[in-house]
Chain A
Amino acid sequence: SQQGEEDPQALSIQEGENATMNCSYKTSINNLQWYRQNSGRGLVHLILIRSNEREKHSGRLRVTLDTSKKSSSLLITASRAADTASYFCATVSNSGYALNFGKGTSLLVTP
């Protein structure tokens, strides 16, 4: 399966701290995407990093990609309580049509 797997499964930090989540995948990719899901809601696209990119920034988000290790990391700097959510990485399936999602990292940011 090309499904990404996030690590850790759960992460609890205090406001102001940085949160780092990791994603590993199994086969070659064109790009890797990160999504956020607030409790009881749909997923929201955060950032996409292409296979020829090593790092990408968007606001307080920083994503890295290491294709040699088949891994990616999502860093949220200066976290806020509103960042509390589940975070998923996603890669394209073998069929080329769908995104495969991991089980996600559940992030809790306490005030």
Chain B
Amino acid sequence: GAGVSQSPSNKVTEKGKDVELRCDPISGHTALYWYRQSLGQGLEFLIYFQGNSAPDKSGLPSDRFSAERTGGSVSTLTIQRTQQEDSAVYLCASSSPSGGLNTGELFFGEGSRLTVL
């Protein structure tokens, strides 16, 4: 697609429910990132994918969080047994093979705003 697409844009759920957030990166981008942004805060790194593998899962805050990427494209971030502190905007970004961190630049989606009641 033309840009990074995330869905849903807004999700309200009850505490204890599971949620799935989806990210569709720019076509051809092999690197994919998930970040979390709490209100008025910076971005907290969650996980990075290169292709289908996740060499860096260091940012996942607990074992309730998991992510997968299939076919080197779409990624799903799953939060199990959601808690109120999970409320945040979850941002996905992708970068191209010739891009990446040493040449910039990450392309971000608009985010999925999660509210846990």
- On whether the beta carbons of A45 and B56 are closer than 8 Å, the reply is no
- Residues from chain B with a CB closer than 8 A to the CB of A31 are 101-102, 104
- On whether the beta carbons of A43 and B101 are closer than 8 Å, the reply is no
Chain A residues within 8 Å of chain B by Cβ, number:
24
Q: Complex formed: what's the CA distance from A41 to B101 in Å? A: 22
Q: Complex formed: what's the CA distance from A71 to B55 in Å? A: 29
Cβ-defined partner of B42 (8 Å) among A33, A93, A95, A103: A103
A59 within 8 A of partner (CB): no
- Residues from chain B with a CB closer than 8 A to the CB of A42 are 4, 91, 93, 108-111
Please name the residue on chain B nearest to A96 by beta carbon.
Answer: B101
Q: Complex formed: what's the CA distance from A44 to B107 in Å? A: 7
- Residues from chain B with a CB closer than 8 A to the CB of A30 are 101-102
A11 to chain B, nearest CB (A): 15
Please name the residue on chain A nearest to B110 by beta carbon.
Answer: A42
Which among B45, B50, B58 has the highest number of chain A CB atoms within 10 Å? B45
Indicate whether A48 sits within 8 Å of B42 (C-beta atoms), given known contacts A43-B91, A95-B58, A97-B48: no
- On whether the beta carbons of A48 and B48 are closer than 8 Å, the reply is no
- On whether the beta carbons of A48 and B104 are closer than 8 Å, the reply is yes
Interface size class of B (residues with CB under 8 A): 20 to 34
- On whether the beta carbons of B108 and A98 are closer than 8 Å, the reply is no
B20 within 8 A of partner (CB): no
- On whether the beta carbons of A88 and B43 are closer than 8 Å, the reply is yes
B41 within 8 A of partner (CB): yes
The 5 closest A-B pairs by CB, nearest first: A42-B108, A45-B105, A48-B104, A103-B42, A101-B43
Can you name 30 A-B residue pairings with CB atoms under 8 Å?
Answer: A30-B102, A31-B102, A33-B105, A41-B111, A42-B4, A42-B108, A42-B109, A43-B93, A43-B108, A44-B108, A45-B104, A45-B106, A45-B107, A48-B104, A88-B43, A92-B101, A95-B48, A96-B101, A97-B50, A97-B101, A98-B48, A98-B59, A98-B101, A99-B101, A99-B106, A100-B45, A101-B42, A101-B43, A103-B41, A103-B42
